[in-house]
C-alpha cells in the first residue's frame, strides 16, 4: 500500500500544530518530491479543474522578472536583484540586509528554494547521512534505517523489479465492473487503500477534548491540491495538472495502458474530482478563522454512518478497523451527500480512473531509475526545479519520512545534549517572562481577558530539543524485503499504530508525534498549549552558545520563541484555552477589538503585490504575521532593559534570518497556499510597526519603509 494513504493525514489534516519556521519548506512541501520531504510527502494531492487540454504552464520565470512588486521588490526571486542595485534601510530593509547573501547564494540542484532553514536543515541532514553510513552503530533502530536506506540506494534491484510489484492491485482496480466491485476493493484488506481516494479517516485529537484520541473523518485530498482550482484553474493549478498528468501517463504506459487511454483516464479522474471539489474546503477556507467552527462536528458512530445512504461508509470503516463506540468528528458532513450522488454504477469508470491515477502516482519514488529520472525531469519542466539531488540525500529524505522515530532516536543518541536542552528551556522561560509584562500592559483588553491571556501564557508547556519518549519500533522488521515490500510494511505498521490509538488517552510524553525534531522548524500546538523548540533548529544562524545579546534577542526573542508563544494569541490560537480546549474565553467587546485589529492587518497585507497581479492574501497569512510582529514586540521589550543595546545589530540579524531564495513556482505556491507570508515581507512588515526601527535608521515620511503611526498594526 502506498505511503500516501496513511502517513500523510495524521499531521496534515488539521493545521493544529502549525509549523512556523519562516518560509521553512512550505513551497517544497507543495511541490512534488523535492528535496525536503515531510511526513505527508509523496504524491502531491491535487486535482484538476476543467478538462480542456489546458496548455500546461511551465514554471516560467518570465512573469517574475518583468514585474517588481509593491511596495517592495520580491527579492526572493534572484533574477530581480543585481549587484549594481542601490539599497537603503529606509526603502527596503530586507534587501538592504540581505543583498550580499542573495548575490552569493544559489538554489542547489534538486531544491525549489534556499534559505537559512534549509542551510541549517542540511547540516542536520549531513550528520544523519553520516549516521546512515556508520556500520558501527548498534541497535534495532540503526539496523532499520540502514536496511531501508540500502534498499532505496539499490538501483539494480529496483530496476530489476520495475513495476512488477504493483501490477496485481493495478489489475484488480482495472477489473472492477460494478459499484459492488468498487465496494469490494475498499473493504478487502490488500486493496483497502483505495478508499482514501474518496474520504479520509484517522485517530487523533479533535477540538473539544485534547486528552483523548477520537476518530476524525474528513474529505480526501485532491490532485490539484486545492478545491478552488477546480472552479477556476490558476497558474499554480496548471503546474500540478501538467506535472501529474505527464507523470501518470508515463507510469500508466509502463503498466501497459496506451498513451491516449492514459490521458483520458487522468482527465476523467479530474472530472470526478471537479464534482467532489464542490464539497471540499479550499485552502482559503482552511486558513480562515472560522474553519475550526466549521469542522467541529462531533457525532456518534450511528450518526456518522447515517450521513451516507448509498456509499458503504459502515462497511469501509468497519473493515478498516475504525469502528468503535466513541466520538467521531466529521469535518464536512454534507460531503457524503455528494459522495452518494456519484457512488453509482454509471460512475464506476470515473471512480476506477481516480483510483488508478492516485495509485500509480503514489509510487513515483519507489520504482526504477527511469521513473525517478522522469519525475525529476517533469519537476524541472513544470516547477522550474532544476537538477537532481544526490542519491544519498534522496534516500535520507525517504528514511526520515518513512522511519522518523528510528532516525530521530539514532540522531539523539549521538547528538542529544541535556545541557543544550536545559539552556533552551531557560531561554524559553526568559521570553515567557517578558511576554507576561507585554500582556499585562496591554491597553485595549478588559481585565478579564488580559488576566486569562496571562493564565494561558503561564500554562504553556515548553518542549525543548527532543522528547525522552518515542513510540515503540521493536516490532518493525524489514529483513529480506524489497523496497516496495518494506514501504508497504511500514505503511501498514503506521496504520496499525493509528488504529491502536482510537479512544486512547494522548501520551504527552511522546510530544514529537506528528512532526520530526530533525526538521529545522519550531511549532506551537494550540490543542496542547505547548511550544516545541526542537533540536533541528538549534544551530547557526538561529542559535549558538556565543551569540551576542542582540543576536540572541533577535533570534530567540523575536524570531523563534517569541514567535511561537505569540501563536497562542493569534487569531487561530486564541480560540483555544489554557488547557488546549477549543473554547471561547473572550468578552464580546474584546473579541470585536481583536478582530478589528486583525482585519486592519489583513487589509494592509492584501495590498502587497509579490509579482504580476499576484497579491498577498491577508486572511491566509495573518496568524503568522501576528506571531512575527508580536514576537518582535516581545524582543524589543527585552532589548529595552539592556543598556547600550545595539538596535542596528538586532534588526540586521532579524532580517538576515529571513534571507531566502525560491523558484517562481515555489513563490507562487507559498503566496497562494501557505499560511507563511513570503520571507521578505516577514522582515519588512514587522519592523515597520515599531518606533525603534524608525529611530535606528532615521526613517521618515516619504521613505518606502514608512508607515504613519495611525496606520501601524499592533495586535497585542
Nearest approach, Cβ of residue 681 and Zn ion (Å): 14
Q: Is 576 helix (H, G, I), strand (E, B) or coil?
A: strand
Other beta carbons within 10 angstroms of residue 374's beta carbon come to 18
Q: Nearer Cβ to Zn ion, position 20 or 41?
A: 20
- Surface-to-core class of residue 168, CB atoms within 10 Å of its CB (0-12 exposed, 13-18 middle, 19+ buried): exposed
Q: Nearer Cβ to Zn ion, position 20 or 634?
A: 20
Cis bond leading into 513, ω under 30°? no
Query: What contacts 625, CB < 8 A, 6 or more positions away?
Result: 601, 605, 677, 682, 685, 686
Strand bridging mode 461-465 / 530-534: parallel
Q: Is 203 helix (H, G, I), strand (E, B) or coil?
A: strand
Nearest approach, Cβ of residue 82 and Zn ion (Å): 32
Q: What is the DSSP letter of 178?
A: S
Q: Nearer Cβ to Zn ion, position 46 or 677?
A: 677
Q: Nearer Cβ to Zn ion, position 328 or 511?
A: 511
Nearest approach, Cβ of residue 571 and Zn ion (Å): 12
- Return d(Cα 91, Cα 96) in angstroms, integer: 8
Nearest approach, Cβ of residue 270 and Zn ion (Å): 33
- Return d(Cα 522, Cα 537) in angstroms, integer: 7
Grid cell digits, residue 391: 542519491
Vertex 398, ends 237 and 259: CA angle to 5°? 45
Grid cell digits, residue 277: 471539489
Q: For cell 453509482, name the residue.
A: 344
Q: Nearer Cβ to Zn ion, position 20 or 354?
A: 20
Give how far the C-alpha of residue 310 lies from the chain's centroid of Cα atoms, to the nearest Å. Answer: 34
Q: Is 88 helix (H, G, I), strand (E, B) or coil?
A: coil
Q: Nearer Cβ to Zn ion, position 517 or 627?
A: 627
Nearest approach, Cβ of residue 395 and Zn ion (Å): 30
Q: What is the DSSP letter of 469?
A: -
Task: Transcribe 489-548 into DSSP letters.
Answer: HHHHHHHHHHHHTTTPBP-TT-TTTTS-TTSS-EEEETTTTEEEEEGGG-STTT--TT--
Q: Nearer Cβ to Zn ion, position 237 or 536?
A: 536
Other beta carbons within 10 angstroms of residue 305's beta carbon come to 21
Instruction: Answer whether 201's CB lies under 8 Å from 317's CB.
Output: yes
Nearest approach, Cβ of residue 16 and Zn ion (Å): 13
Nearest approach, Cβ of residue 701 and Zn ion (Å): 32
- Surface-to-core class of residue 646, CB atoms within 10 Å of its CB (0-12 exposed, 13-18 middle, 19+ buried): middle
Instruction: Answer whether 213's CB lies under 8 Å from 500's CB.
Output: no
Report how far apart, in Å, the C-alpha atoms of 244 and of each of 56, 237, 274, 367, 691 are: 11, 11, 16, 16, 49
The sign of the dihedral angle between the CA atoms of 442, 443, 444, 446 is: positive
Nearest approach, Cβ of residue 573 and Zn ion (Å): 10
Q: Nearer Cβ to Zn ion, position 277 or 620?
A: 620
Contacts to Zn ion by CB under 5 A: 20, 624, 627
- Return d(Cα 295, Cα 328) in angstroms, integer: 12
Nearest approach, Cβ of residue 62 and Zn ion (Å): 32
- Return d(Cα 317, Cα 322) in angstroms, integer: 5
Q: Nearer Cβ to Zn ion, position 21 or 204?
A: 21
Nearest approach, Cβ of residue 18 and Zn ion (Å): 6
Nearest approach, Cβ of residue 529 and Zn ion (Å): 15
Q: Nearer Cβ to Zn ion, position 355 or 559?
A: 559
Q: Which residues pair with 18 in a beta bridge?
A: 524
Nearest approach, Cβ of residue 518 and Zn ion (Å): 19
Q: Nearer Cβ to Zn ion, position 46 or 573?
A: 573
Contacts 24+ apart (CB under 8 A), 72-75: 72/608, 72/680, 72/681, 72/684, 72/704, 74/610, 74/611, 74/667, 74/678, 74/680, 75/99, 75/102, 75/680
Nearest approach, Cβ of residue 524 and Zn ion (Å): 7
HSE (side-chain half, CA atoms, 13 Å) at 56: 19
Q: Which residue's beta carbon is nearest to the bound Zn ion?
A: 20
Q: Nearer Cβ to Zn ion, position 99 or 567?
A: 567
Vertex 565, ends 454 and 462: CA angle to 5°? 95
Nearest approach, Cβ of residue 140 and Zn ion (Å): 35
Q: Nearer Cβ to Zn ion, position 26 or 69?
A: 26
Nearest approach, Cβ of residue 620 and Zn ion (Å): 13
Nearest approach, Cβ of residue 414 and Zn ion (Å): 29
For the chain, the residue count is 716
Q: Nearer Cβ to Zn ion, position 328 or 680?
A: 680
Q: Nearer Cβ to Zn ion, position 39 or 403?
A: 39
Q: Nearer Cβ to Zn ion, position 497 or 511?
A: 511
CA-based nearest residue to 315, from 186, 182, 498: 186
Amino acid at each position: 500500500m502506498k505511503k500516501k494513504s496513511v502517513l500523510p493525514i495524521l499531521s496534515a489534516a488539521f493545521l493544529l500544530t502549525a509549523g512556523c519556521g519562516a518560509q521553512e519548506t512550505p513551497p517544497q512541501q507543495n511541490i512534488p518530491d523535492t528535496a525536503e520531504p515531510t511526513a505527508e510527502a509523496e504524491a502531491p494531492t491535487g486535482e484538476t479543474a476543467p478538462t480542456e487540454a489546458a496548455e500546461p504552464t511551465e514554471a516560467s520565470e518570465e512573469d517574475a522578472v518583468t514585474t517588481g512588486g509593491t511596495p517592495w521588490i520580491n527579492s526572493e526571486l534572484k533574477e530581480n536583484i543585481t549587484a549594481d542595485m542601490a539599497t537603503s534601510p529606509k526603502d527596503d530593509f530586507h534587501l538592504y540586509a540581505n543583498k550580499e547573501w542573495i548575490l552569493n547564494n544559489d538554489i542547489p540542484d534538486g531544491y525549489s528554494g534556499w534559505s537559512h532553514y534549509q542551510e541549517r536543515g542540511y547540516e542536520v541532514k549531513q550528520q544523519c547521512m553520516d549516521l546512515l553510513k556508520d556500520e558501527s552503530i548498534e541497535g534495532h533502530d540503526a539496523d532499520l534505517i540502514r536496511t531501508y536506506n540500502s534498499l532505496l540506494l539499490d538501483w539494480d534491484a529496483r530496476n530489476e523489479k520495475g513495476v512488477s510489484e504493483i501490477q496485481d492491485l493495478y489489475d484488480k482496480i482495472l477489473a472492477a465492473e460494478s459499484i459492488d466491485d468498487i465496494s469490494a476493493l475498499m473493504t478487502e484488506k490488500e486493496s483497502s487503500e483505495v478508499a482514501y481516494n474518496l474520504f479520509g479517516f484517522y485517530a487523533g485529537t479533535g477540538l473539544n477534548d485534547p486528552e483523548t484520541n477520537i476518530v476524525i473523518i474528513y474529505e480526501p485530498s485532491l490532485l490539484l491540491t486545492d478545491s478552488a482550482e477546480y472552479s477556476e484553474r490558476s497558474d499554480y493549478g496548471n503546474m500540478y495538472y501538467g506535472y501529474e498528468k505527464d507523470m501518470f501517463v508515463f507510469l500508466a504506459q509502463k503498466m501497459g495502458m496506451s498513451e491516449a487511454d492514459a490521458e483520458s483516464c487522468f482527465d476523467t479522474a479530474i472530472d470526478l474530482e471537479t464534482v467532489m471539489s464542490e464539497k471540499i474546503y479550499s485552502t482559503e477556507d482552511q486558513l480562515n478563522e472560522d474553519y475550526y467552527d466549521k469542522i467541529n462536528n462531533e457525532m456518534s458512530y450511528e450518526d456518522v454512518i447515517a450521513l451516507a445512504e448509498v456509499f458503504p461508509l459502515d462497511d469501509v470503516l468497519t473493515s478498516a478497523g475504525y469502528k468503535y463506540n466513541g466520538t467521531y468528528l466529521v469535518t464536512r458532513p454534507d460531503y457524503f451527500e455528494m459522495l452518494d450522488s456519484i457512488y453509482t454504477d454509471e460512475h464506476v469508470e470515473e471512480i476506477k480512473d481516480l483510483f488508478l491515477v492516485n495509485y500509480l502516482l503514489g509510487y513515483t519514488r519507489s520504482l526504477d531509475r527511469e521513473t525517478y529520472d522522469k519525475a525529476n525531469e517533469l519537476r524541472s519542466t513544470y516547477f522550474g526545479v532544476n537538477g537532481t539531488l544526490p542519491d544519498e540525500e534522496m534516500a535520507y529524505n525517504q528514511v526520515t519520512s518513512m522511519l522518523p522515530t528510528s532516525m530521530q532516536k539514532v540522531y539523539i543518541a549521538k547528538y542529544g545534549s541535556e545541557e543544550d536542552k536545559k539552556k533552551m528551556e531557560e531561554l524559553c522561560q526568559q521570553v515567557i517572562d517578558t511576554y507576561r509584562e507585554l500582556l499585562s500592559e496591554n491597553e485595549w483588553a478588559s481585565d478579564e481577558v488580559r488576566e486569562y491571556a496571562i493564565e494561558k501564557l503561564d500554562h504553556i508547556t515548553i518542549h525543548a530539543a527532543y522528547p525522552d519518549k518515542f513510540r515503540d519500533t521493536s516490532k518493525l522488521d524489514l529483513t529480506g524485503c524489497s523496497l516496495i515490500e518494506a514501504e508497504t510494511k511500514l505503511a501498514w505498521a503506521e496504520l496499525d499504530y493509528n488504529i491502536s490509538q482510537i479512544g486512547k488517552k494522548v501520551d504527552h510524553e511522546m510530544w514529537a508525534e506528528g512532526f520530526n525534531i530533525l526538521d529545522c522548524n519550531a511549532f506551537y500546538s494550540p490543542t496542547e498549549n505547548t511550544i516545541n523548540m526542537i533540536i533541528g533548529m538549534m544551530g547557526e544562524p538561529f542559535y549558538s552558545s556565543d551569540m551576542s545579546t542582540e543576536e540572541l534577542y533577535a533570534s530567540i526573542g523575536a524570531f523563534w520563541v517569541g514567535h511561537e508563544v505569540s501563536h497562542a494569541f493569534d487569531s487561530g490560537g486564541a480560540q483555544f484555552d489554557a488547557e488546549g480546549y477549543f473554547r471561547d474565553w473572550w468578552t464580546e467587546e474584546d473579541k470585536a477589538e481583536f478582530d478589528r485589529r486583525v482585519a486592519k492587518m489583513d487589509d494592509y497585507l492584501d495590498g502587497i503585490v509579490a509579482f504580476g497581479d499576484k497579491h498577498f492574501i491577508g486572511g491566509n497569512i495573518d496568524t503568522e504575521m501576528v506571531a512575527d510582529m508580536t514576537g518582535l514586540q516581545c524582543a524589543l521589550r527585552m532589548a529595552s532593559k539592556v543598556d547600550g543595546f545595539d538596535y542596528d545589530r538586532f534588526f540586521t540579524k532579524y532580517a538576515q534570518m529571513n534571507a531566502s531564495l525560491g523558484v517562481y513556482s515555489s513563490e507562487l505556491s507559498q503566496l497562494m497556499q501557505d499560511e507563511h507570508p513570503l520571507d521578505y515581507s516577514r522582515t519588512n512588515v514587522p519592523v515597520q510597526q515599531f518606533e525603534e526601527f524608525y529611530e535606528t535608521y532615521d526613517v521618515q515620511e516619504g521613505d518606502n519603509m514608512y508607515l504613519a503611526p495611525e496606520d501601524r498594526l499592533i495586535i497585542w
